[in-house]
Structure formats: structure tokens, C-alpha cells
Structure 1
Amino acid sequence: MQTMREHPTLWIQGSTSASLEDKTIVLAVTGSIAAVRTVELARELIRRGADVYAVMSEAASWILDPMALHYATGHEAITRITGAVEHVEFCGMSGKADLLLIAPATANTIGKIASGIDDTPVTTFATTAIGAGIPVMIVPAMHEAMYNHPALIENLEKIKSWGIRFIGPDIKEGIAKIASNEEIVLQVERQSGSRELAGRKILITSGSTAEAIDPIRILTNRASGRTGVELALEAYRRGAEVTIVHRNKVGFTGIKDIYAESASQMTEAVLGELDCGYDVLISAAAIADYTLDPANTKIRSGEELTLHMRPTAKLIGKAREKCPDLLIAGFKAETGTGLEELLKRATHTLETSKLDLIVANDVAGSGIGTEDNEVYILTAEEPGHIHIKGSKRVIASALLDEIGHLLMSGK
């Protein structure tokens, strides 16, 4: 039951995840038209558990009424520094802020920060946070010509040399546009998260492969790749260096996408990447078990067709052969089995494929192409299994918890 004094906005706190739980984020808004995006940005941070306070420059208030950010955050927006010394309260040596996020940041504000000028509430917060060692992230937004100005380029490099991270911009239509809210939130989660996988390299296969029948037709399966993407995002949040091999594109800065269509292309890409020295391979892709030699031209329709298929090479086996000490997690999908038989088959695959961990599920009712799933996680080190039911983000988090434990144990 909500208390009478709690702002209704805070009712959504933690509704998406707990990735920013107990984190206090100061959202500093400057006079770019992109300021209108910050209402939803603030709420996305709150949905992940953060407590968000807004500070605005005067120019920002010309574009976005402070009441909008009061609504968005549940706290009155700070539009001037008063006797309460708000900049010290949040960003001083004992300030309660965990992060100062300046979004959007204009060229004017970036120049002032680089020069140590603090003549707006936002720049005063920035000067204080930098001096106190509180993490600062900056999200630029301006016309492309301004972003290309030599002085701005120098200012960006100067600020980066202080250990401050920039998010974006996204150069489109002659504008250095503010990064997407999804990108900003992900980078904030990585900055403010546990960092338990920092220094680790994780390679993930994801989604379905496709085997060509002719130049137009393919054989594939129903796997959406959502689990693999959620694994990549969660590993990145936890500080890992992440590569994902699939037919899609994650599209987030910091996560390396490698395109692979067929089973052989995916296997080749993974084996090539393993030369770069990874700590973990998560084989989440639904790789085709069979392939064929495609026709060079389109097969005519309307006639009976016989396809001669042959088994594909097993990626996990080749990866284990190449990297005997690599931590490998696999997936075992079955249909129509009872729990006992599902776990029996998963255990067999765990042992015969020399896996460190396996995720088993019966996909007859859900899992393939769905938002949620129900899985069982088994490891080579511990007897029994872990049962997880929920969104694929929840499942990705649980799986990476187990991988983290294996890494900590020295696997």
C-alpha cells in the first residue's frame, strides 16, 4: 500500500528491474530541444530502481517546464542554487548522488565544464561533482556543425581525459542527436552496476541460423534471439567485454555484433573469435542441425521437391576442442518431455559435451519466440538444478549469476 506522502511517480520504481536499486542519480538538463526527451528518460531510470533528482539550467526551463521534471522524478526540479547548497548536498564530498548524468548537454555547457565555469545550476553541479570524484556522464546534443567545431572537439578530449564518459551522439540529418533513452539507460546501468564481470570477455551465440535452399528460400527455426540479446545486455551491464554472433543486430555502443547466417558461418565466426582470448562462451543460438547444398538459381515452384540434407558440425564440440579451459554454457531445448526426462537429457548433454553449465527447457508451450520462459539451470560442479521462470531478462540475470559464481570459483 502506497503512503500518502509518496509521489505517485515513485509507484513505478523498480517495476522493470533492480539494476539501479539504491542509486541516486542527478539528471542535469540543459537548453537543447532534446530536453523534451528527459521526462521519459527519468522514468526509465526510476523503473530500474533509481531515485532521480533533476537540475535545470535557465535555458532548459525555456524548453521544458520544471513541473514536467517534478512529475517525472517525484521531486521538485532544482532551477537555482539556494541557501540549501543543493550542489553540495548531492555532489559534494559527502554528497548523496551516485552519478551526475548531464542529458542533454549543449556545446555551451560542455565548453563551460571544460573551462571550470559554473554559472548555471548544471555547471555548478558539474564542477562540484568533478572536484568530489563523483561519476559524471555527459550526453551531447547539438547541430552537427557545432559538434565539429575544433574548440568543441578539444573540450571533449579534455573532459574525457578526466575519466568522464560521453554517451553518443547519434549523427543523423545534420544533427548530433541525443542518444536513445535505451542507450543512455544501458550505459548508466554499466557505470553504476556491480562491475562483477569487469575484465571478462564473453562470447554469445544467439537466435536462429538459416540454411539456404536457393538464392531466395531458407530453412530456419522459430528462435527469436531474445534470450541471447538479453544475455549480451546483462553481461555488458555487469562490466564484461561482450561479443554476440547472430543474424540480427543489438545496436548498442560497446557490444560487438558479428553477423552470421548459416550454422557453418556461425561456427567459423566463433572459432575465429576464440583466438582473441575469451573467458566464457554462451551458446544460446538455435543452430541448425542439418544443412544442404543450395541451388544456384531459384527452384521452380509447383513441383514436388526432395531436399538432401546432412548434419552440421557441432559448434560446442569444436569450441571445447580448441579451448579446453574455456567456460562453456549450453542450452538444451526439448518438446513434450516430463521434467525428469528433460533433466536427464540435459545432464547427458552436460557431461558428453563437456559443458560447465546447461540451461534446459521444454519449448512445446513457450520459450521459442516468446517474451517469457521457464528454464532449469544445471552445472557440472553442483548437483541438482535451479528453476527460473519469468522474463528472458530475469533468466539472463540468473544465468549470469551462475556464470559469475563459476568464474569466482576459478573455473
Structure 2
Amino acid sequence: MISRITRSSKSLEGKTIVLGITGSIAAVRCVELARELGRHGADVHAVMTHAAMGIIHPEAMRYATGKRVITEITGDVEHVEFCGINGRAHLLLIAPCTANTIGKLAHGIDDTSVTTFATTAFGSGVPVMVVPAMHESMYDHPIVAENIKKLRELGVEFIMPVMEEGAAKIAGEDEIVLRVERILGGKTLSGKRILITGGATAEAIDPIRILTNRASGRTGIELALEAFRKGADVTLVHRGRTGIRGIREFNIQSAQEMTDTVLEELSKGYELLISAAAISDFTLTSSRSKIKSDKEITLTLRPAPKLIKEARLRYPELRIIGFKAETGVTADELIKRGRESMESAGLDMVVANDVSSGGMGTEGNDVYIIDEGVKRVSGTKHEIAIALMDKIEEIF
């Protein structure tokens, strides 16, 4: 499950989403799901089966969406209004979706309000996303697996359940919203493989102590999320672990581990490396046992490997974006040093900032995105990630 690591945005503004709710106990989660989609700008309309109404009252969904809830197909032909050809809906999101409804969708059975919407969506090309929720034994039924496979082959996107306590539980709201953003985001980076590094590395002093820095890793995570929203195949290498399904993660500690992991992964074919990590400039030989704290000690530091330098030598055609952190310099000097780094390492772009005024370990930042020109971006790291990914679209 994804922890909430970005604030609500207007990423779904202008998008109409039909939320189909079927008779799983997970229907109780739909109030918050609908509100979360709305916080991101979506216009949400709920459609409920009779079984769903036995679990959550339609008035709860009317409160969550601010719209009349569709529980029956009437003379207003609601299914055509939303999911017909040139209909209002950009997406039919069925969450939660029971094994029963999955079977009906796979075999063209239309006997509930939700399946009527789905039948119409299939016939008119409206995207359909399904979020299953059921008991684990039901989810493991081979016919259910076959039905899911069949629907995937028909173009239905699935957000697979979280397996806990003998149940295939509905995915978290943040994950569902992220996947909705991806399917409705135009997929402008679809087919692009992007490797992102983030956060601080840690050099072991002894089995307990480490040498590290103040970087939180938030920028790397936000970049990975934004690249994913735009349809890219994303890999994130950092010390943390987000558990974001759909993004490959490598958990590393030292500068050497990060360098080795990135170089090995790049051999599998990537179009872009974004080196946002604050990789240690120095490393040391770790003591095998805890160093006593009752006397003064001297640590001998030696230079750590330079990831960008190694990546450029091994993969000369790879596009690389670097980050340049300085302290106590003017904007002109910061930009000058950023350009020097870009030229010396053959980078496509550099993101430069003065960390003496913030940026490391903080919510927001003030950066300069440097390529042929210079663009200053001030705001949250989420907003900076959006600005950088918009620039990245231009280089492909």
C-alpha cells in the first residue's frame, strides 16, 4: 500500500469518472475513494448494484460525489449518456469488483447497473479499470484467473488486490488514484524506460554508525511517481522503500552499492538516467566491531565512486539528467556551475539549487532547470517533479 507522499492536485481536472460499485464489503471504502478522486479534480459519478446498496447507502455516495447516484437504468439512458459513443465519461472505474461481476464482464452478461455501464463502455471504447476485492480462496479460483486474463486481453486494466488475512483486499486509495492518473494522463512517456536515483547514501563507520547527509529522498520519489503517471517504465534506486506497485525499486545503502546497481540495471536498456540522489562524495573502511565512544578517533575518508562519470563512460549514448547542489552562491554563479557540470559530463539537463537556503530534507525547493535555457521553479517537490517531467517530454 502506498503511503500518502504527495498532496492532492488537479491532475484529474476536466476528467469525468464513473465509479462502479459492486457488492463487496470493500464498498465501504468508496466514500473516501470518490472524495480522493475529487480532490485531484475529477468529476465523479457513482453507479451502484443492488448488492452494493446492501453494504453502503446511496446517500453516502451522493455525499461523497455531490451527484445523484445511479442505482437503476431509467429512461434517461444513463449508461449511454456516460459510456456511450461520445459520452461524458473518460473512464469506468469498477471498485470494488467482485468475482461475480468479473465473471459477468468476461462473458458479456448484463444484468446490473454496473454491468450495463461496462457493456456500453466496451462497445464505445471508454477505458475500463477494475479493482478486485474478494476472499482469497475466490481469487485463487482458476476460472476467476481465466476471466481476469480474458478481460486483460480485451484491454481492461486491473489494479490487483493486496493479499492480507486470507482476503484479496481492495488496493489503497492512493494507488488507485495513481493508476487512474496514469491511464488518463495521455501516456506521453509511454515506452520510455527511466531510471531514477534518489535520497542519501550511507557509508558504514562500524556496524551501528553511518556517514550520510540530510537528503530525504522525496525528490526522487516524486520524480518516479510523475514519470509513472506519464506512462513511463520506471525504476527507482534509493535507500528507502515506497512499496509503489508498478515502479521497480532497488534498496541500496552505500555509494558503491548505488553505482553498481545503477550500472548493472542500465545494461538492460534505458533511455534516461535521472541522478537525483545525494550520493556521498566520500567513503571509508568500516570497522567490523563497534568503535568505543570513550576516546577521540580519526576517520580516514577517501573519494567515493562518481556515478554519473561511470555511467557516461559505459553508456555514451544514454541521456542523463544531473542534480547540482551548492551553498552560499549567487543565482548567476549557481547557473554557471550547473552549466559546467552539464558540459563536463555530457548531460542533457541539470537541476541546480542552493541548499543553504533549503531543499535538503524539506517539503519544497527553489531550483533552476538548465538545458539550452534556464527555467526557475519554486514550489513543492511534487510541483518541481511535474516541471522537470514536462521538460523531459521535450527531449524525446
Could you tell me how far apart the structure 2 residues matched to 1:129 and 1:84 are? 17
| Matching residue of 1:298 | 290
- Which of 171, 174, 180 is the equivalent residue of 2:163? 171
- Which of 383, 394, 398 is the equivalent residue of 2:387? 398
Deviation of the 1:83 alpha carbon: 0.3
Could you tell me how far apart the structure 2 residues matched to 1:181 and 1:328 are? 33
The percent identity for this pair of structures is 60
Instruction: Within 5 Å, give how 1:365-376 maps onto structure 2.
Output: 365-376=357-368
One-letter amino acid of the counterpart of residue 119, structure 2:
T
Moved more, 149-158 or 286-295: 149-158
- Which of 247, 262, 269 is the equivalent residue of 1:255? 247
Could you tell me how far apart the structure 1 residues matched to 2:175 and 2:120 are? 26
Deviation of the 1:305 alpha carbon: 1.1
| Matching residue of 1:82 | 74
| Matching residue of 1:333 | 325
Could you tell me how far apart the structure 2 residues matched to 1:37 and 1:224 are? 31
- Which of 340, 346, 356 is the equivalent residue of 2:348? 356
Could you tell me how far apart the structure 1 residues matched to 2:91 and 2:226 are? 20
- Which of 102, 108, 133 is the equivalent residue of 2:94? 102
| Matching residue of 1:243 | 235
| Matching residue of 1:12 | none
One-letter amino acid of the counterpart of residue 307, structure 1:
L
| Matching residue of 1:142 | 134
Could you tell me how far apart the structure 2 residues matched to 1:281 and 1:94 are? 40
Corresponding residue SS for 2:54 = helix
| Matching residue of 1:273 | 265
> Over aligned residue pairs, what C-alpha RMSD do you find?
1.1
Counterpart check, 1:220 vs 2:212: yes
Counterpart check, 1:41 vs 2:29: no
Could you tell me how far apart the structure 1 residues matched to 2:361 and 2:64 are? 33
- Which of 386, 394, 401 is the equivalent residue of 2:375? 386
One-letter amino acid of the counterpart of residue 406, structure 1:
I
Could you tell me how far apart the structure 1 residues matched to 2:315 and 2:391 are? 20
Could you tell me how far apart the structure 1 residues matched to 2:11 and 2:74 are? 32
- Which of 57, 63, 77 is the equivalent residue of 1:65? 57
- Which of 178, 186, 202 is the equivalent residue of 1:186? 178
Give the TM-score normalised by structure 2.
0.96
Corresponding residue SS for 2:168 = strand
Corresponding residue SS for 2:196 = strand
Q: Deviations over 1:215-247 (max 9, x none)?
A: 111111111100000000000110101001111
Could you tell me how far apart the structure 1 residues matched to 2:167 and 2:29 are? 16
Greater length-normalized contact order (CA 8 Å, ≥ 6 residues apart)? 2
One-letter amino acid of the counterpart of residue 312, structure 2:
R
Count of equivalent residues? 390
Unaligned runs of 5+ in 2: 1-6
Corresponding residue SS for 1:276 = coil
Could you tell me how far apart the structure 1 residues matched to 2:222 and 2:381 are? 7
Deviation of the 1:250 alpha carbon: 2.5
- Which of 140, 154, 157 is the equivalent residue of 2:149? 157
| Matching residue of 1:315 | 307
Give the TM-score normalised by structure 1.
0.93
Could you tell me how far apart the structure 2 residues matched to 1:132 and 1:321 are? 50
Unaligned runs of 5+ in 1: 1-14
Could you tell me how far apart the structure 2 residues matched to 1:378 and 1:192 are? 29
| Matching residue of 2:188 | 196
| Matching residue of 2:3 | none
Deviation of the 1:278 alpha carbon: 0.7
